[in-house]
Amino acid sequence: MNTPSFKTLTETLNYLEERHHKIVHRGLRAMYDLVREVAAWEDPNLQQQLLKPLFHFCKVLKLELDHHMTMEEEIVFPLIRNLETAQKADLPPSGRGLANYYLKHLVHEHEVILHTLHQIRQLSADYQLPFNAPPGLKELYDQIRFLHSDLDEHLHFESTYLFPQVDKLEAGKYE
């Protein structure tokens, strides 16, 4: 992927919220509506083998991502913005060390989220449609595949670019 370049961390956070977080919020709503419809399909064998576990994993993914993004949007991103504002004004930042404390937790959550997506992919045999697929399953798989590919980019960008920049800022080395 091409890493976009930003002048400030605030610009980076705005980009993440405006682009990737909006995609996730919209994508999760669409995924959840579709999986509820698909899971109600009356085929006991398919229910047991695919639809029930698929519903379970989609619910887990939604819970994990809702929690994760709330933590970023309401706690960690505001802390990072405050750190940067304080650094620019040459003031001692309030909550120094806090952003760093949360970052390790967020990186761990990225791994958990990607693992859940991997479980969905395995369950669906790489998003292959069964011959007796219910209406909506193809659309659901397309939606999950799109979310997965966007999340790969989004979570990788945070873990390998954004969070190391915050570490540097906290250590007083941000240029």
Binding positions for Fe ion, rule: CB under 5 A? 72, 158
Torsion angle (degrees, nearest 10) of CA 149, 154, 159, 165: 150
Q: How far is the CB of 24 from Fe ion (least distance, A)?
A: 8
Question: Taking a C-beta distance cutoff of 8 angstroms, is the pair 147, 27 a contact?
Answer: yes
Q: How far is the CB of 18 from Fe ion (least distance, A)?
A: 12
3-state secondary structure 33-54: HHHHHHHCCCCHHHHHHHHHHH
Q: How far is the CB of 110 from Fe ion (least distance, A)?
A: 6
Q: Which is nearer to Fe ion, 36 or 156 (CB)?
A: 156
Token pair in block for residue 95: 């909550």
Look up residue 61 and give its amino acid: L
Q: How far is the CB of 74 from Fe ion (least distance, A)?
A: 12
Integer Cα distance of 62 and 138 in angstroms: 19
Integer Cα distance of 141 and 145 in angstroms: 6
Query: b/e for 150-162, b at 16 or more Cβ within 10 A?
Result: ebeebbebbeeeb
Q: Which is nearer to Fe ion, 16 or 46 (CB)?
A: 16
Q: How far is the CB of 163 from Fe ion (least distance, A)?
A: 9
Q: What is the DSSP code (8-state) at residue 131?
A: T
Q: Which is nearer to Fe ion, 109 or 170 (CB)?
A: 109
Q: Which is nearer to Fe ion, 84 or 158 (CB)?
A: 158
Q: Which is nearer to Fe ion, 83 or 137 (CB)?
A: 83
